[in-house]
Structure 1
Amino acid sequence: MSLVPAMPPAPVVVLACGNPSRGDDALGPLLLERLQNWLHSVGLADGFELIGDFQLQVEHALDLTGRRLALFIDAGEQTPSPYAFRQVAAAGVVSPGTHALPPAALLAVLRRIGEPPPPAFVLCVRGERFALGEGLSRAARDHADAAFELLTGLCRASRVDAWQARVTRDV
């Protein structure tokens, strides 16, 4: 029996949340799909692992292990237009029955299991309408375009200092 050594994880993980059936909540999955296509087209896909889900779960903490950087993408109703980009640190208490977690709590889970969390950032894209069955609003499409421009810049320079330089100051 031959054992194949496990491949190390991609240096950067991108976790996008959202529900495509709830209007502008689809921004996370939409940007993730667009990013995946772009990364492949420019030859950067090997440096990134992209993960999409409806919401962050405690199990996603394991997706952060061994990473150099982590990026969380989500839509926000009260977010400054077109988006907010900030660094996030481990914080918060996670109860055993918790299902959905904010990024800071997910990083805290990782620390709690004895793994150092990677430097992490949140890209929150402004949404306008989140009702069940609605499509993406025109404003959300425009905000997604602006956020995608930021994403491509982040992926071209996937270093903590480069990402810190792009943090929005009005958050």
Structure 2
Amino acid sequence: MAPLLIFAYGNPSRGDDALGPQLLDLLAEGRAQRPEWPEFEPVTDFQLQVEHAVDMERRDLVLFIDASVSCPSPFLFSPIRPAQDAGYTTHEMSPEALLHVFEQVYQRPAPPAFLLSVRGESFNLGEPLSRVAVENRDAALNLLLQLCAHPDYEAWQTLSAAIPVQ
């Protein structure tokens, strides 16, 4: 089992919501050209669900990738911690809630995790990525290439602190 799990989620049919899955596809292409990279497991889905807690078992590090209308442009990369969702449903979950579920199910700490939120602006059904989303996706891909070359919690923590929030 790969020590790094990269979980990209979003609906490819809803404009900029496709940012996560598209980044994972581009990352897979980049990985094919970099055999020296440590192993990672890519997972994609429309949204996070309680069942995805199982995917995190036996991982050293987890990266969630999602589109966001509220993060700074081009992206926000930050560590996240387990937290219980205030919502009443498990149909759609935050990454923090999924980490919390992991801890409840396995009765041990969740693996260290980070969230890469990529700024999008148009999430309408049937639309392609907006021009801004393409630019932000490309900037986020450069970061992802760095992250995959060095999947280390402390290195990622340092990098997340060094990225300016705009």
Deviations 1:27-71 (A, max 9, x none): 001000011111122015661000000000100000001101000
8 A contact 1:15–1:52 mirrored in 2: yes
Matched residues in 1 for 2:151 and 2:38: separation? 13
TM-score with structure 2 setting the length: 0.92
Runs of 5+ unmatched residues, structure 1: 1-8
8 A contact 1:61–1:109 mirrored in 2: yes
Q: How many residues align?
A: 163
Shift in alpha-carbon separation, 1:10–1:111, aligned structure 2, 3 A: same
8 A contact 2:19–2:137 mirrored in 1: yes
Instruction: Give the % identical residues.
Output: 47
Q: What residue in structure 2 maps to residue 19 of structure 1?
A: 11
8 A contact 1:24–1:130 mirrored in 2: yes
**More off after superposition, 43-52 vs 62-71:** 43-52
Shift in alpha-carbon separation, 1:47–1:79, aligned structure 2, 3 A: same
Which residue of the other structure, out of 125, 131, 142, is the alignment partner of 2:124? 131
Matched residues in 1 for 2:86 and 2:100: separation? 8
Cα drift, residue 170 of structure 1: 2.8
Q: What residue in structure 2 maps to residue 159 of structure 1?
A: 152
Residue 143 (str. 1) matches residue 136 (str. 2) = yes
Deviations 1:95-131 (A, max 9, x none): 7841110000000000001242110000000001001
Across the aligned residues of Structure 1 and Structure 2, the Cα RMSD in angstroms comes to 1.7
Matched residues in 2 for 1:33 and 1:13: separation? 14
Cα drift, residue 169 of structure 1: 5.0
Residue 78 of structure 1 aligns to a residue whose secondary structure is: coil
Matched residues in 1 for 2:95 and 2:89: separation? 17
Q: What residue in structure 2 maps to residue 170 of structure 1?
A: 165
Shift in alpha-carbon separation, 1:95–1:109, aligned structure 2, 3 A: farther
Q: What residue in structure 2 maps to residue 90 of structure 1?
A: 82
Which residue of the other structure, out of 28, 43, 54, is the alignment partner of 2:35? 43
Shift in alpha-carbon separation, 1:77–1:94, aligned structure 2, 3 A: closer
Runs of 5+ unmatched residues, structure 2: none
TM-score with structure 1 setting the length: 0.90
Q: What residue in structure 2 maps to residue 28 of structure 1?
A: 20
Shift in alpha-carbon separation, 1:139–1:97, aligned structure 2, 3 A: closer
Matched residues in 1 for 2:45 and 2:150: separation? 25
